[in-house]
Amino acid sequence: MAVELIQSLSYAKINEIISFQRNSDGSVLVEVTGWTDIPMNPASGEFSYTSRTDSAGISYTTSVGARLREHIGAIPECILKIILCSGRVLILGTPFVPVRGGESRSLTLNRLGIEHYSVDPAALLVI
């Protein structure tokens, strides 16, 4: 999959997930108490994933990065909602294999970086 630009990011902590259902077509139906927005610069984020096949099966490495408008610190274990500039909405992570992320800072730049490893790719959100 080619790199895609991210319009916005938000997350729901594991304890904020009410229900999480993966459908047979690979999409998910998620209900949470609320999403926490990540203060990123618009269209500054990138999303990509790679798949790997070995004796255990297929696994996916998903990378998400974005320039931040302000300091946020570490992101707790969560599921991540990714809205792409193309309009697609993706959910990364599950209650059982949550997303973890962190921030890197320099004098001129705050950047969010997430690497997620799973046997499931990011799933399309069913709205």
DSSP states along 76-120? EEEEEEEEETTS-EEEE--SSS-EEEEEEE-SS-EEEEEEEEESS
Instruction: Identify whether the C-beta of residue 62 lies closer than 8 Å to the C-beta of residue 116.
Output: yes
Write the pLDDT tens digit of every residue in 58-114: 888 888 889 898 888 888 999 999 988 888 898 999 998 899 887 677 767 788 888
Instruction: Identify whether the C-beta of residue 33 lies closer than 8 Å to the C-beta of residue 1.
Output: no
pLDDT of residue 10: 94
pLDDT of residue 124: 61
- Whether the predicted pLDDT of 30 surpasses 90: yes
Closest residue by Cα to residue 122 from 30, 17, 16: 30
Interval 110-125 mean pLDDT: 79
Confidence at 6, pLDDT banded by 50, 70, 90 = confident
* This prediction's pTM: 0.85
CA 15 to CA 117: how far, in whole Å? Answer: 21
- Which residues pair with residue 84 across a beta bridge? 6
Q: In the chain, what are the domain boundaries?
A: 4-124
Structure tokens, 111: 């950047």
Closest residue by Cα to residue 63 from 38, 90, 39, 96: 90
CA 85 to CA 115: how far, in whole Å? Answer: 20
Interval 47-66 mean pLDDT: 85
